[in-house]
Structure 1
Amino acid sequence: MRLRVVAVGQRVPDWASAAWDDYAKRFPSELRVELKAVKTEPRGSRTVEQLQAAERERIEAAIPRGARVVALDERGTALTTAALASRLKDWQLEAADVALVIGGPDGLDPAFRAAAHERIRLSDLTLPHAMVRVLLVEQLYRAWSINAGHPYHRE
């Protein structure tokens, strides 16, 4: 199974890239985690709807065929780490790839969000996109660790 994080935005600080790489290499071979960064649409004089539509095309092109789509959205379901571990276990049982999608500065296209299989949120806080990538991969690793039987300090 593969977890593909599709994130709008190609430029991230070195610390975020280093943190992503550190967590991504910890996953076992049977649960690969990869990042696919897609270009942010140039702002110019376009409407938010036009920007989101252009980014949606890039996002959809980066999602593996047949993948379960999970949109990260501020209006999505809040999960505890244990609940994310349970979701991860369910995704692994389904055996399909999962695409976790992080939108651009203007968020995700509303129709894309509505069509996603799931919508989750990482925080009630507004976070920089680079931080979201790191937080997401860390929580996915923690969820895998729980499912693998590693001690979890909250139990």
Structure 2
Amino acid sequence: MRIVVAAIGRLKQGPETELSERYRKRASQTGRSLGLRDVEIVEIRESRAEDAGKRMIEESIALANVIPQDAVVVLLDPKGDDLDSEGLASQISRWRNAGTPAAVFVIGGPDGLAATLADKARLRLAFGTATWPHQLVRVMLLEQIYRATTILSGHPYHRA
């Protein structure tokens, strides 16, 4: 199973990019023995439309175009489920065991996502009720994916 993080916006060089790449590489390496083919990041350029509704639609279409057929869609949503690390690991394991070809974690833009894309989400995942910058959400998500792979492989990282 592939894991894809599809995000609106591009990270510039800096600590967020370095941390994101560190956790992506670690998750990919740990995940191989678990049947996870790779952890990929797909960055979608922010829409330049003046109207927020149009930006939301354009970005949602661009995100929908990178979601493979039969993939599980996980939407990062501040009103979503607040899963703990073991819960996320368990969910990834269930999808993998069910033969799901990919799990796509979607980080929308500041205007949100169109309902047509949001309705495809099998899981809405929150990192608490606080508002987080998109750059940090990506780092936290990749860390949690890495943590899930360590939990599934029996590595003690998850106890830290």
Q: What TM-score comes out, normalization by structure 1 length?
A: 0.90
The answer to whether the Cα contact below 8 Å between 1:9 and 1:38 also exists between their aligned partners in 2 is: yes
State the superposition RMSD in angstroms.
1.5
The alignment-based identity, stated in percent, is 34
**1:92 maps to which residue?**
96
The answer to whether the Cα contact below 8 Å between 2:75 and 2:107 also exists between their aligned partners in 1 is: yes
Which letter maps to 1:38? I
Unmatched 5+ stretches in structure 2: none
Unmatched 5+ stretches in structure 1: none
The answer to whether the Cα contact below 8 Å between 1:13 and 1:130 also exists between their aligned partners in 2 is: no
C-alpha distance in 2 between matches for 1:66 and 1:52? 23
Q: What TM-score comes out, normalization by structure 2 length?
A: 0.88
The DSSP-based 3-state class of the residue aligned with 1:90 is helix
Which letter maps to 2:25? K
C-alpha distance in 1 between matches for 2:19 and 2:99? 27
C-alpha distance in 1 between matches for 2:142 and 2:11? 17
**1:101 maps to which residue?**
106
The answer to whether the Cα contact below 8 Å between 1:41 and 1:54 also exists between their aligned partners in 2 is: yes
CA drift at 1:122: 1.8
C-alpha distance in 1 between matches for 2:114 and 2:136? 21
**1:135 maps to which residue?**
140
CA drift at 1:111: 2.9
